[in-house]
Copies of this chain bind each other. A is one copy, B any other.
Amino acid sequence: MTDRDVVPEDITEDTVTDAVVDSFAGSADPRLQALLSAVVRHLHAAVREVEPTIAEWEAAVDFLTRTGQTCDDTRQEFVLLSDVLGISALVENINHRKVAGATEATVLGPFHMTESPVRANGDSIDLVGGREPCVVTGRVLTTVGDPVPGASVDVWQADENGFYDVQRPDVQPAGNGRGLFTTDDEGRFWFSTVVPSWYPIPTDGPVGRLLGATGRHPNRPAHVHFIADADGFVPVTTHIFVAGSPYLDSDAVFAVKRSLVRDFDPVDDAAEAARSGVANPFRHAQVDLVVERAEPTAAG
Contacts and interface: CB of A to CB of B under 8 A. Distances in A.
Interface string A26-46: 111100111110111111111
A87 interface: yes
B47 A2 contact: no
Given A44-B87, A91-B47, A248-B7, A52 B78 contact: no
Interface stretch (A130-138, A140-148, A156-164, A250-258): A250-258
Contacts of A41: 46
B7 A261 contact: yes
Which residue of A4, A20, A243 has the most chain B CB atoms within 10 A of its CB atom? A4
A54 interface: yes
A234 to B, nearest CB: 11
A32 B89 contact: no
A69 interface: yes
Which residue of A6, A32, A49 has the most chain B CB atoms within 10 A of its CB atom? A6
A76 B255 CA distance: 34
B69 A19 contact: no
Given A35-B50, A67-B68, A20 B56 contact: no
A26 B61 contact: no
Which residue of A19, A20, A40, A245 has the most chain B CB atoms within 10 A of its CB atom? A20
Interface stretch (A9-17, A191-199, A274-282, A286-294): A9-17
B244 A90 contact: no
Interface residues on A, range: 35 or more
Contacts of A244: 2-3, 6
Nearest to A53: B95
Contacts of A255: 11
A192 B48 CA distance: 40
Interface stretch (A115-123, A179-187, A212-220): A212-220
B52 A258 contact: no
Given A3-B243, A76-B61, A215 B87 contact: no
B52 A35 contact: yes
A51 interface: yes
B47 A87 contact: yes
Contacts of A172: none
10 contacts: A4-B248, A7-B257, A11-B257, A17-B86, A20-B86, A29-B213, A33-B214, A41-B46, A57-B82, A68-B78
List the 8 shortest-distance A-B pairs measured between CB atoms, nearest first. A68-B68, A26-B215, A4-B261, A20-B86, A3-B244, A42-B46, A13-B93, A27-B214
Given A42-B42, A53-B95, 8 more contacts: A2-B244, A3-B248, A4-B258, A10-B258, A25-B215, A33-B214, A48-B94, A54-B91
